[in-house]
């Protein structure tokens, strides 16, 4: 298989970068046996996350009711094999995302298997867990590689896709648990953008929620909410302040972007601002999202998120003039608080869930929610996540997760009947056609 083997061959090279700047592009250097400091290899794992950012924006928002593709890409079958657009979608969106994350995984593997620095290994496990979580959310079952293969091992590599359940239980959850045990308790700013205990714990809580394991999700998310003083931090920082600086107390982990590097694909900010030709020319932000904000009377987030732009709505959440300096937020406190509310509600602690939900509403300038029953609060949390996290790549995955707890919510929110086959995306065409052990997802 051309692409996967190219990725595997890349692991025979070691990556070197500035030891204090995750934004540096790592040039190739010798082989692993000559390396004593694996910090540059770890930075390569961080760096490859940059190439997944555009994909997460597209899959998370443009697949959902938040944002619109150009007219020709509107239908879900634009990604299916019979469509003439499928090849374009695969090479433009799917392939770069897929390759970048496996490159990140392989760099992380190198650190995990070879470094004697426990903190570096914990960081690498966080990155590997994050990478596989993204892959499983987007593709479902995926190929698993937990080694740094030699030339001889490449030919014998097991590239058959593993059940997503296996990936969650054997890779993602153990990696994040190990990361929690080995990472420091720091803010993103204190850690200079590197992984921290609360980032790992928050991500593990999200993983458990995605699996419908709300009991364990509540434990992990509560630890972050309490440990990071989420209520006071959120109350003490305006919504605008969250996006005014790349590293602040509201952000648990972000993939750092910099104008000094040319990334593959286009800037994620261009998609939301209507500056990408594949985004809808009439304004990439959907009228449905604009209406959702308009119906949230007094919501200060509206003017800081969308601009109707003369009837062609765009997002103003990011500074597009310096867009490559705008980091992609992977996890922030408001996300964790709303996930915690979700877990509490699903665990029949609805009054406690309402308390957490109101933390986010009050910061947005809104009064306390009028929702009171478990069903009402479930919908209120989903609606609040949409407004709080709009244009941050969450909406589609939130709808998929919500469907498990509230069957029918996907179609109701999307205003269309969506086949469950389309809850995930197609494996890149090149991966399927190049090697018969890589099968395509049903419906594509």
* Domains (range + CATH), the chain: 2-434 (1.25.40.390)
Lowest mean pLDDT among 13-22, 193-202, 231-240: 13-22
Query: Residue 227's CB: how many other CB atoms inside 10 A?
Result: 12
Question: Which is more confidently placed, 38 or 319?
Answer: 38
φ/ψ (deg, to 5) at 254? -140, 155
Question: Which is more confidently placed, 381 or 158?
Answer: 381
Reported as a pLDDT band with limits 50, 70 and 90, residue 28 is: very low
What 8-state DSSP symbol labels residue 320? Answer: G
Query: Quick one: CA dihedral 54, 237, 203, 41, positive or negative?
Result: positive
φ/ψ (deg, to 5) at 401? -65, -40
Smallest CA-to-CA distance from 444 within 417, 418, 414, 422 is with 422
Listed in order, strand segments (DSSP E) in 24-179 are: 28-29, 142-143, 161-162
- Which residues, including other chains, have CB under 8 Å from residue 362's CB and lie 6 or more apart? 235, 368
Mean pLDDT throughout 198-220? 98
> What are the CA-CA distances from residue 225 to residues 98, 198, 218, 384 (Å)?
32, 9, 10, 17
Question: Which is more confidently placed, 116 or 91?
Answer: 116
Distance CA 221, CA 98 (A): 28
pLDDT at 203 over 50: yes
What's the gap between Cα 401 and its chain centre? 14
Write the pLDDT tens digit of every residue in 394-409.
Answer: 999 999 999 998 999 9
pLDDT at 33 over 50: yes
Reported as a pLDDT band with limits 50, 70 and 90, residue 14 is: very low
User: Which residue's structure tokens are 């509403």?
Assistant: 361
pLDDT at 338 over 60: yes
% the chain with pLDDT above 70: 82
Lowest mean pLDDT among 226-240, 262-276, 343-357: 262-276
pLDDT at 40 over 80: yes
The pLDDT of residue 296 is 94
The pLDDT of residue 29 is 38
Smallest CA-to-CA distance from 293 within 364, 372, 399 is with 364
Mean pLDDT throughout 101-127? 96
φ/ψ (deg, to 5) at 248? -145, 175
- Full DSSP string of 336-354: HHHHHHHHHHHTT-HHHHH
Write the pLDDT tens digit of every residue in 298-327.
Answer: 999 999 999 988 888 999 998 765 556 678
């Amino acid at each position: 298989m051309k692409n996967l083997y190219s990725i595997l061959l890349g692991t025979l090279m070691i990556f070197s970068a500035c030891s204090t700047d995750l934004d540096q592009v790592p040039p190739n250097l010798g082989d692993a046996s000559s390396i004593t400091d694996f910090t540059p290899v770890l930075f390569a794992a961080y760096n490859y996350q940059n190439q997944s950012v555009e994909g997460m924006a597209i899959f998370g928002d443009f697949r959902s009711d938040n944002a619109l593709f150009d007219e020709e890409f509107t239908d879900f079958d634009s990604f299916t094999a019979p469509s003439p657009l499928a090849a374009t979608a695969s090479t433009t969106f799917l392939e770069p995302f897929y390759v970048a994350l496996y490159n990140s995984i392989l760099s992380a593997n190198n650190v995990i298997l070879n470094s004697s620095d426990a903190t570096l290994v914990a960081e690498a496990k966080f990155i590997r867990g994050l990478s596989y979580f993204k892959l499983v959310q987007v593709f479902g079952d995926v190929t698993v590689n937990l080694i740094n293969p030699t030339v001889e091992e490449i030919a014998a590599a097991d590239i058959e896709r593993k059940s997503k359940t296996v990936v969650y239980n054997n890779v993602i959850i153990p990696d994040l648990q190990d990361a929690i045990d080995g990472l420091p308790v720091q803010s993103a700013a204190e850690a200079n953008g590197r992984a921290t205990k609360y980032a790992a714990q928050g991500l593990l809580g999200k993983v458990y929620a995605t699996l419908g394991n709300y009991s364990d999700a509540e434990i992990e998310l509560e630890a972050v909410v309490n440990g990071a003083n989420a209520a006071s931090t959120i109350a003490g920082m305006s919504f605008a302040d969250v996006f005014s600086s790349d590293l602040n107390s509201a952000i648990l982990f972000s993939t750092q972007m910099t104008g000094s590097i040319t990334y593959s694909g286009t800037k994620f900010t261009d998609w939301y601002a209507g500056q990408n030709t594949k985004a809808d020319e009439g304004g990439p932000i959907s009228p449905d999202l604009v209406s959702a904000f308009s119906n949230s009377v007094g919501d200060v987030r509206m003017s800081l998120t969308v601009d109707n732009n003369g009837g062609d709505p765009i997002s103003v959440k990011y500074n597009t003039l310096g867009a490559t300096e705008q980091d992609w937020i992977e996890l922030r406190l408001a996300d964790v608080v709303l996930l915690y509310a979700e877990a509490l509600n699903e665990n029949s602690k609805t009054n406690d869930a309402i308390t957490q939900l109101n933390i986010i509403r009050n910061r947005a300038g809104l009064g306390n929610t009028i929702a009171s029953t478990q069903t009402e609060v479930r919908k209120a949390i989903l609606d609040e996540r949409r407004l709080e996290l709009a244009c941050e790549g969450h909406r589609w995955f939130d709808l998929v997760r919500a469907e498990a707890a509230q069957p029918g919510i996907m179609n109701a929110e999307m205003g269309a009947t969506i086949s469950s086959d389309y809850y995930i995306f197609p494996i890149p065409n090149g991966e399927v056609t190049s090697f018969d052990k890589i099968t395509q997802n049903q419906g594509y």
